[in-house]
Structure 1
Amino acid sequence: MNIVLYEPEMPANTGNIGRTCVATNTKLHLIEPLGFKLSEKHLVRAGLDYWDKLDVTVYSDYQDFLKRNPGAKIYMATTKGEHVYTDVPYDPDAYIMFGPESRGIPEEILVENRENCIRIPMWGDIRSLNLSNSVAIVLYEALRQNGFEKMTMEGHLHHLHWKE
């Protein structure tokens, strides 16, 4: 799987997303300009000690991303999407793009990719969810559709002995 952040603005969100990507063996693609430096302490803190395990690629702009990922099937997560994120099929190498926190993916990109625009349903007139939460919601649906390939599927409780 591939998560694409188009011009992300908040280092803590990107750090959280990076940690989610490490936990799911997902590649992270960052399209510049970024609203922070990759060395920023909020980014590193949110990513904890996982950031060095992250498969991350940085692109100079959207055209650079397209040029370096030819033929990529890109889903665009947007509140303007006509399809619910659970209603589309995700290939194991799908790309799921999210826009910057303050404005989302630009309309001109969405119009070019109308059929691949997906949304997370929300109640009422809420504008949007937090970016890192949105990434986790959609990514885990894509992973579920692909059988959580090579992921740990069960945990183990440690038995505690209680004295009576």
Structure 2
Amino acid sequence: MRIALYEPEIAGNVGAVLRLGACFGTHIDLIEPMGFAWDDRRVRRTAMDYIDHVEITRHAGFEAFRQTAPGQRLVLFTTKGSVSAYDFEFRPDDVLLFGKESAGVPESVAAVCDARVRIPLRAEVRSLNLATSAALALGEALRQTGMLPEA
């Protein structure tokens, strides 16, 4: 299972997702351009020394990323999703895709995804933080597939 971040804009969110990947043994794909310099110290500060324990791949764009996941199902997490993450059936080789913080993904990217999934929220709020969404999604996907790490 992999987490892919489409054009992330906030270094702290990326750092938190890298730490998440390190803790659960999940590969992280970063689809450029990003909204900050990769050497930004905020990424390392948020990820701390966990950054040394996560596999990260940076991609020049969405098409470059897609070429690295042939045959893998691309599951887009979006507020426009038609199915709840808790009703969706995850597979061990799924790629969990999250859009940029300010705008999600363009329709051209959403159109090639195999599923559009949402995290259910109260009607009066818009969305969760990117790192929080990734944590909830990954936790549910790993739970369903029996891939949670042993304590």
| Consecutive aligned runs of 4 or more in structure 1 exceeding 3 Å deviation | none
Identity of aligned residues (%): 37
Aligned-pair CA distance for 1:112? 3.4
Query: Does structure 1 conserve the Cα–Cα contact (< 8 Å) formed by 2:92 and 2:147?
Result: no
Question: Which letter maps to 2:145?
Answer: N
Q: Once the two structures are superposed, what CA deviation does each residue of 1:55-94 show, in whole Å capped at 9, x if it has no partner?
A: 0000000011111221121100000000101111211121
Matching residue of 2:146: 147
Written as runs of structure 1 = structure 2, the 5 A alignment for 1:13-162 is 13-113=13-113, 116-149=115-148, 151-153=149-151
Aligned-pair CA distance for 1:106? 1.2
Query: Does structure 1 conserve the Cα–Cα contact (< 8 Å) formed by 2:28 and 2:56?
Result: yes
Aligned mates of 1:59, 1:15 — CA distance in 2: 17
Structure with greater Cα Rg = 1
Indicate the RMSD between aligned Cα atoms, in angstroms: 1.2
The normalised TM-score by structure 1 is 0.88
Aligned-pair CA distance for 1:98? 0.1
- Ranges in structure 2 where 5+ consecutive residues have no aligned partner: none
- Ranges in structure 1 where 5+ consecutive residues have no aligned partner: 154-164
Aligned mates of 1:130, 1:2 — CA distance in 2: 19
